[in-house]
Structure 1
């Protein structure tokens, strides 16, 4: 990749960084991406996939497999705190997970494919909405347009603060934990604060459930038995001193390595809520949001990525445990060989979702190069 092209991609990354859009609201980002893909000579550009998703197809004209390269479009509802010249211009929103950088690396792949198509098969560049909420990949794959571009092999990356800048970690098998948000509503009956005995307060149930749910999953080794439950939000009654409460709400994040363990953890948590509510004379409702299934890397595809790193002279380390954070990329492994690699953002770099996080521009040519070498390995030399 020439210095001129790298500089162009950096400027583009800064442009995206200034205009973040939240999950499900990526209309302007998607339109800009689609325009850039047309300029980059895509044979077809499909829009509106699973919301604001975009796909670009690069054909070889020779039979062969379809290789997909996936990235994300959405930012976060977090106020950025920085003095960067290109800081977010949208109050309360920021590209604080690096999706701006991920998009630009895949657009770098598009520029390379414009100059030289793969020798066989085709490449599909996947720009997915709503990764942060767990809704995007499911909706993208469920869209009828996806059948036109469904890959046989699909690759993705995520930058990783704490890992040496530009280094790569790869994992065979479980790569990212399953997680979901459990939302519990407890309903009793309000009463005057002077006569609490005339009501049914959820205070006791709430005080029981907070430690009891936390104790269901204490973390530990990242194996098939791993479970972590994290209380993230709780409310009780109204903001008044004159009314004994009649309703409480409790949110808990459930996290496991495997989907099977998630099912058993959900059953344990639901039984605990049911029994506690019954003992206190309360009605209850349980719902789930931001559902992420486990992300599992295909062994052969991991080997393709490891060789691509070697071809590019990128330090690559195979690890034997997944990341604790979740990813909806695992949805693309249903019906395709899928693998994600982690690209180091620096050992002392601010963490993902922190208000002072910024994607390191030095990673742009590295990530783009690994993707191109992986495409070469599967479909033949592209550049």
Structure 2
């Protein structure tokens, strides 16, 4: 086990920072990678960083991505290197993902790419969806024009060091839908003189649930999860005049998300009109499905076999979402899972800790990819 990388992982774990606040994290990565003399360090916004390693010949540009941000969770691991900040923890393993990418700087320094460019991208704000989108539309990133992009995510509940593969959609699309309904308050004794959104909320809830039963509309799994419903004030003499609903829409396929969104909006707008209510709809934390290209999956498959690593193909995408999906909408992408152990605590749990023993496997796959694309 590479003790320098383990020490880096523990340092990153102890100093977690929330989305778009990853200043110390970014500097820690810069301090580490600079020792391996990248040809260029590109600033992508306040905390995003890309390290460019150039070959001597023209060739493909390959980008490997890891995430910088932590979660607003109170850590309960009692580790020596546990979070030093109350209410913030690397409970998703981004500290481990960053460490694998930083380890590539060591490999690239010792075995530089022969042709093209290899770029290590440290992206902010994955947890809130904004980070990949901000990087994608940053002019300095657009100038890089990647031919390939790769990323991984550790997966608790799967055998340690198993490579998880899937062609097409790897993880689900999702978005938060906020519905606001405005009517008119009235005295609770005279509700007929107002426009209370309660009936509309009831109808919307029922019809959105019924929408999912229309299997002919969708090609694969679709979900609607009701997150919250609010209406009126805690005043028993007043009939409510406004209400709000929060719903998460989720699907395995991007095309299904488009249908689910359209049909949901049609239901909401129709019922609001029937109940004589003003209506507005807004979306938050939109994640496209992360979609793999066959060419990239083939490379991952071959590398797992070449290095005698256990691997398996997933029957279905993961239900969780990944903002790497923004990249896969534009570039040729490969995203794979890395088993973190059957008994490993689940992602986003307060007792989760990224297992150091899978760092080497992630590094082996990433290193093998750049050697295939930029070294032959």
> 1:130, CA displacement in angstroms?
1.3
Matched, 1:254 2:237: no
Contact 1:118/1:376 (8 A) holds in 2? yes
SS at match of 2:32: helix
Matched, 1:134 2:96: no
Distance 1:29 1:116 in 2: 26
> 1:337, CA displacement in angstroms?
1.6
The residue correspondences of 1:188-337 to structure 2 (distance < 5 A) are 188-217=183-212, 224-337=219-332
Distance 2:220 2:9 in 1: 40
Distance 1:94 1:280 in 2: 45
The residue correspondences of 1:55-204 to structure 2 (distance < 5 A) are 55-204=50-199
Unaligned runs of 5+ residues in structure 1 are: none
After superposition, the Cα gap between the structure-2 partners of 1:131 and 1:188, relative to the gap in structure 1 and judged at 3 Å, is same
RMSD: 2.0
Residue 25 of structure 2, aligned match among 26, 29, 34: 29
Distance 2:40 2:159 in 1: 37
After superposition, the Cα gap between the structure-2 partners of 1:265 and 1:335, relative to the gap in structure 1 and judged at 3 Å, is closer
After superposition, the Cα gap between the structure-2 partners of 1:134 and 1:220, relative to the gap in structure 1 and judged at 3 Å, is farther
Contact 2:291/2:329 (8 A) holds in 1? no
> 1:340, CA displacement in angstroms?
0.3
> 1:129, CA displacement in angstroms?
1.1
Residue 44 of structure 1, aligned match among 40, 47, 50: 40
Distance 1:295 1:350 in 2: 24
After superposition, the Cα gap between the structure-2 partners of 1:60 and 1:133, relative to the gap in structure 1 and judged at 3 Å, is same
- Once the two structures are overlaid, the 10-residue window that deviates more, 317-326 or 90-99, is 317-326
Contact 1:308/1:377 (8 A) holds in 2? no
After superposition, the Cα gap between the structure-2 partners of 1:11 and 1:217, relative to the gap in structure 1 and judged at 3 Å, is farther
The TM-score normalised by the length of structure 1 is 0.92
Equivalenced residues, count: 375
Distance 2:214 2:338 in 1: 25
Distance 2:71 2:160 in 1: 23
